[in-house]
Structure 1
């Protein structure tokens, strides 16, 4: 009993050879003329099941045919094994889900089984099931019994036996590699002529090279022949046999340990089939290789589309592999987000073959914001963040802005508005609903056309900074408070200039005073998901609970929109609008009607864009501030206390503040007409 156990252990070690780094386990092969999957017991490695590339002559059913071949694994001695072919009529296999082959080697009593299952439960396209298994390892001189039955058992049983013949030594030859002419010279010693050829060694067979490199030459004894090859790969072998039929064959694979065989030529011999799809957020590629190749695949991203550009590795992004099919889910499929295939000491980068992307983004400067235009053909969420270039890198900085195209919505344009904090600001945009996404860097040119508006933003920021430095008691939070109170900032989107001033003021309140500013431009994703009215009432409730302030920034365009809102219903009762401004008017109308005054509401307007006469009469009871002249009073109102006495803001700083106010806002100049006024004015 000791010898069979030792043989089984040695056989298992043989079949699992090559499990070290960079080398795949050699798996036996099942070919069938239908979609199949195969399982086996522990004496056989898990076999591959696929359709034959070049089907051989079919057997007449019912038939169970046994033949002897050789199992040659890399780095191991070849050994005999039993090839099985079977044919069964499809008409007799109705309701049959699979087949089972059982093996028994007499003398050692070593047994094993193989099951072949139909992958899809439907009628085969052929009139017969044709299956071939390569192969069951056996010892020289042993008798092997093979039996076939169906799953489930329908009483069909076929049995055959085969005596494994003892192999004789094969032909002898020598070779010389000539890399300069990309050929191998084969020398045949004195004696009988040999048939020689080059081939690619797979698990069991040595397959011919593609044309025009497929050559099988009869070489007389004492002569030599030069055989050209296409690619220098590890499985390139030389095979020789005698001219008569069923001759013994000798084979030598000299490049399995050659470093040159694992370089660029190895990857040139592989065909990559791209099945990546944006609709499923999946990267998928299938390899067709001349050699049994199972590399490791991870993600990397290229800064440029050029093939020579470096590809930066993405951490924790190893793809799963089955039958040389590599897949990775939750990926934003992009032509510059690629697979890096690594095998032994070499690697290759293969990018998706489709140049189009599921989404695109462009940026423009509107007033004092970066306006991101997003178009997406798939439901997705997008995030954006401002960044500053430092040492060739641009890391995103808080806050983060998000917008979502929900499932089931029609394709269209999404928009995000970001404040321009300083000249030279860049923005990073990426898909935030997947695990792996490439961040797209956009750096708009804001140095010329929008210099005046940016100067206005900088002036306003400098005004707030001077106020903070010279009127600290006005801007400082109350004792014991962790920071500035929350501010819900509402406005009407009636002109680019007004939007610019709104964003500039909001950013200074957030960055300069530490206020928790709630602005729909910064929470476009939340507004889109909840709707304008629910989002506004939720924010109003939070600000009220935290004793914050609702700051309503007014303009001439606001007056026109307010009038349209007032006459929105035929019965004279204002209706709830679907935009944030209309929702704000509905909310304020309810609070004024219930309490007789708008507690927690503050109204402010920029004197350049509005006058006191433009404030509607129902809103005049609200505390109102003219900007920028009454900016200190507004800051005090947001703090929840009166502003500091004016004497703290006098002197040189006070005069500088006055000049900045005039130069920054052009208060003494006639107000320009708003750009892009609301429709219907």
Structure 2
């Protein structure tokens, strides 16, 4: 294994043509001197009992084989040493010359076979049976021979895979061989053009001070925009990014950009613009506008006061924080200093790094402040002070009075309008009763990123505040894992039947691609393809498409499903310019936040009771 692994790492791709002229899609076989007419076929392990040759030693290893003129993959090579029993010797020397000629012929044309098997974990073994003609007189070593088997697969053996190789007649000769990892292979520059999965986008950048943006430049497949994410610090989370520019206020010394192609196995290139160069001083001033410090007073159990501070920055910083009293001038107190150290920083949901601390036994007679000194900065940061307690209480009182006046005015306005509309509906022959608001089921698209996830969360919270019963897929992950995506959605639709309401299907650019792909597969009668878009909500989104299709055949899809697009969501092309797939035709579409009020109007349930019967519809009577 080791010699071959070094061959792989040195970029020596072994072609099947180099071993013996043959095509890639055929397993290759080399027999040593004395063996001829070698053929190989797949068999089941039980047939090995018929073998007349014994495998005495195995040496399996992995190497790279060319799949075509531009691409190579991992192949398994099995070197074997065989023992071939001799033909029956002449029992006495008194036989005739004809018998001796027959014996010599048997020595040259004896038939034999040997079988070798290989298997990965939790898979069935695959066995190769080799049949050959033996010329005992031509064997290099008496009754011993060698053969090399090169085994190929359509997409090659997986990197880092473990394969067990053994002869079925003697499992004690079992050998385990481990394939080299993709990182080991791709670390060799000679192999970058040979192994497709080693090919990653190349990223560079230039700062445009006029537009105040960092422009990203890519080299790779047709210069198309790859998938990307931005990471602050080596151990920070990587947040999705799908634009060719980065605002300067988001640029930081610890920033790195990862890029990859979606159609490959997630191998990524990493570009850190300032890892080997100094961070520009002008950018440092811009970055510090993203630094925030919050200070507030608190109480300990023994009623003594404490001052809590919270520092947020794009990158972790080294420095110190100290307490300062606001008494006309600021002075540091040496025994009340706290260090900013790398181990005390934690990353928040927005990708910024936070450091927290507390000063105890604070004299509340003074407005408390903190000063901050960061390593590498010329000046101190601050002072940052807590809110004055007396002023805060008066401010709270003023704000409370203003809120009370505003709420009173709004209530008066809406009640006045409600009575007016109710009188109008009664005059026109119907008694209008504002009924309860129904259930709203909110489904995320299958490509949820942080911005879409946050928009879905805010929409669900907003609908809850408007009095609706809301079920959001992001809030029900545990229940979905227990029931499964399809049963969970079926349960929500059953609730809709009894409570009334709608399913809101959130659309995005990739969601529309997913719907068109789903429609094509179902129209052509093809089976489902492996999902290229992976998110916790992909299966649930696909399940909703089956229900929409079923209801549409009954002309009832609009009674159950509404469509929602977030206009603020960044997409590769404007969502409003794209035509909806045929599956979604006829479903109401709302662009948020511009049509938020229209959506609320359509979701509200109104019951109309008249002498001859009752009917239900969506929309406020006076709003439609």
- Check whether TM > 0.5: no
TM range (shorter): under 0.3
Larger Rg: 1
Taking structure 1 as the reference length, the TM-score comes to: 0.25
**Greater helix fraction, Structure 1 or Structure 2:** 2
